[in-house]
Amino acid sequence: MTSTHDEKFRRCNWNTTDPIYLTYHDHEWGRPQYDSQKLFEMLCLEGMQAGLSWITILKRREAYREAFDGFDPQSISTFSDDKIARLMNNSGIIRNRLKINAIVTNARMFLEVEKEQPFNKYLWSFVKGKPIVHYYTEPKMIPASTEESLLMSKDLKKRGFKFVGPTICYAFMQATGMVNDHVTHCFCFRELMGMKKRSLSIQERAVDH
C-alpha cells in the first residue's frame, strides 16, 4: 500500500485515482466507527463483496442504502418474500438471492444481539474495545485474516449471521478501524496515530452508546 500522487499525501496503493475510492480511503477506511447501525451496514456490505471487487460494492452503496432502508435492522427484519422478490429486480444492487437473504437474516440476528448488549460493544469486544495498530510497511505484510477475525467469524456464525467468514470479518475490521492497516508511510496512518492520543474514556463512552 504505497503512494499515489503528492509525496505529502502518500496513500495506500490499494486505492485508485477514482474519486469515490480516494474519498473512502482518506475519510473512512481505518477510522474507528462506533455507531451500531453503521457497523451493521459495513458488515453487510463486506459480505456483499464476496467474490467481487470492493469498488463494485462501493459504487452501489447509495443504492444499497435506499434498497435496505438505510440499513435499519428493525425495518429490514420485517422484509417479506415479496419485498425480497422486488429487490431481485433492483438493478442498483447485486441481484444475488443468497446475499439479499443474508442481509435480512443478519438484521434479525442484530436484534438478537441487541437483547444482550449493544451491537457496537459486542463487535468491539473482539479487539478489547480499542483499535489494534499494525505497523506494516508493505502490502505483502498485511494478512487476509487474523486470530481476532477468526474468533469474530466463529461467534457471528454461531449466532446465525451469514457471509461472515474470517476474511470478510477482517476486511470489516480494517474498514471500521478496529485495526489500523494503513501502511506506515500513508498520511492516514499518521492521522490515526494522532487520534490514538485521545483518552480511553472517550473511546469507552463511544462504544457504550
What is the mean pLDDT of the segment spanning 36-49? 98
- Number of other residues whose CB lies within 10 A of the CB of residue 25: 21
**Catalytic-labelled residue, pool 24, 28, 114, 191:** 24
**In this predicted structure, what is the pLDDT of residue 2?**
37
pLDDT band at 5 (very low <50, low <70, confident <90, very high): very low
Percent of the chain, pLDDT > 90?
A: 78
d(CA 33, CA 176) in angstroms, rounded, equals: 5
Is 46 in the active site? yes
What are 86-95's pLDDT values in tens digits?
A: 999 999 999 9
What is the rounded average pLDDT of the residues 50-69? 96
Residue found by looking up cell 447509495 in the block:
62
User: What value does the CA radius of gyration of the chain take, rounded to a whole number of Å?
Assistant: 17
Asked if residue 208 has pLDDT above 60, the reply is no
Are the C-beta atoms of residues 119 and 36 closer than 8 Å to each other? yes
Please tell me the distance from the alpha carbon of residue 148 to that of residue 25, in angstroms, as a whole number.
23
Whether 138 is catalytic is no
pLDDT at 55 over 90: yes
Question: What is the structure's pLDDT at 4?
Answer: 42
* Domains of the chain and CATH, by start: 7-207 (1.10.340.30)
Residue 147 pLDDT > 90: yes
Give the pLDDT mean for 55-80. Answer: 97
From CA 16, how far away is CA 25, in angstroms rounded? 10
Q: What is the mean pLDDT of residues 14-18?
A: 75
* pLDDT at res. 115: 98
Q: Cβ distance 173 to 127 under 8 Å?
A: yes
pLDDT at 149 over 80: yes
Structure confidence at residue 205 as a pLDDT band (50, 70, 90): low
The span from the CA of 60 to the CA of 12, in Å, is 22
User: Is-catalytic flag, 124?
Assistant: no
Catalytic residue among 21, 34, 54, 136: 54
Top pLDDT among 137 and 196 is at 137
Query: Which pLDDT value is given to residue 13?
Result: 78
pTM for this prediction: 0.88
Say which of 21, 34, 41, 46 is annotated catalytic.
46
| Residue 116, Cβ density class (10 Å: 0-12 exposed, 13-18 middle, ≥19 buried) | exposed
Least confident of 1-5, 13-17, 87-91: 1-5
Q: Which amino acid is at 200?
A: L
Of the listed ranges 47-51, 85-89, 195-199, the one predicted with least confidence: 195-199
Residue 15 to residue 12: CA distance in whole angstroms? 7
193 burial type by CB count under 10 A (0-12 exposed, 13-18 middle, 19+ buried): middle
Query: Exposure pattern of 140-175 as b/e (b: 16+ CB <10 Å)?
Result: eebeebbebbbebbebbeeeebbbbbbbbbbbbbbb
Tell me the average pLDDT of the chain.
90
CB 73 within 8 A of CB 115: no
pLDDT at 24 over 90: yes
Mean pLDDT of 62-81: 98
